[in-house]
Homo-oligomer: A and B are copies of this chain.
Amino acid sequence: MESRCENCIIRQFNSLRAMSKEELKQVSDSKTVKTIKKGEPLFQEGDKLNGVYCVRNGVSKLSKLSSNGKDQIVKLASKGEVLGQRSVISEECTNLSAIAVDDMEVCFIPKESINNTLQKNPNFTMEVLRHMAHDLKEADDVIVNISQKTVKQRMAEAFLYLKNNFGEDEDGYLALTLSREDISNVVGTATESAIRIISEFKKKGLIVASGKKIGIKDERKLLELVEGF
């Protein structure tokens, strides 16, 4: 893949597209490319981040540990997403852990480059602001879903989310394969409950599963379930 930020297509998907040629050059010169293996962390809850991570390949789960010892996955980030922005902007330790769900390739961009551009390029700042506004809206939706919907509804929604955001492979299975435990941590339920609901969905013909791979069979009915029928 192209290693010069100026030519990197990835940035078309994130706030970096608002950077000028010179700014991108600076970012390009200061960035480092990192490879993270499945299961390894990009950063951990409480870490002080010295920069942001731009995802080139693979998927990362952003999660937070609850006092009951369970992780709650707040977001799944893939190609083009920038992680750690919030922490860098507010100059606080990060409140989330980022762990690779796949093997990943990311660019680490030191915070100086980001802060520098934030000060000089209002377009960039606005772009970051717009992204954050969007994330906040999504977070509100998650709050409402998680508090007002049943586990079954949230499971159905999770599968539809996975399809819409990560797509399907050639055999019609969800492209992103998560462990049952990760699924339960996205949905916010016990692993056993998640497994039981998967079994139920299989029996009812809503999904198919072969090993870890899950495929959506009856999207319409899943949608109806989410809406509460």
Q: Interface of A with B (CB < 8 Å)?
A: 64, 66-68, 70, 72, 74, 85-86, 89-90, 92, 95-96, 118-120, 122, 125-126, 128-130, 132-137, 139-149, 188, 226-228
The answer, among B66, B147, B228, for a CB contact under 8 Å with A188, is B147
| Given A126-B125, A133-B132, CB of A144 within 8 Å of CB of B90 | no
Residues of B within 8 A of A125 (CB): 122, 125-126, 129
Chain A binding site: helix, strand, loop or mixed by DSSP?
Answer: helix
The answer, among B67, B70, B130, B139, for a CB contact under 8 Å with A140, is B139
Asked if residues B144 and A143 are in contact (CB atoms below 8 Å), the reply is: no
Residues of B within 8 A of A130 (CB): 89-90
Residues of B within 8 A of A141 (CB): 64, 95
A88 (CB) vs chain B CBs: closest residue:
B133
The answer, among B66, B133, B142, B226, for a CB contact under 8 Å with A149, is B66
The complex places the Cα of A188 from the Cα of B148 at a distance, in Å, of: 7
Asked if residues B95 and A140 are in contact (CB atoms below 8 Å), the reply is: yes
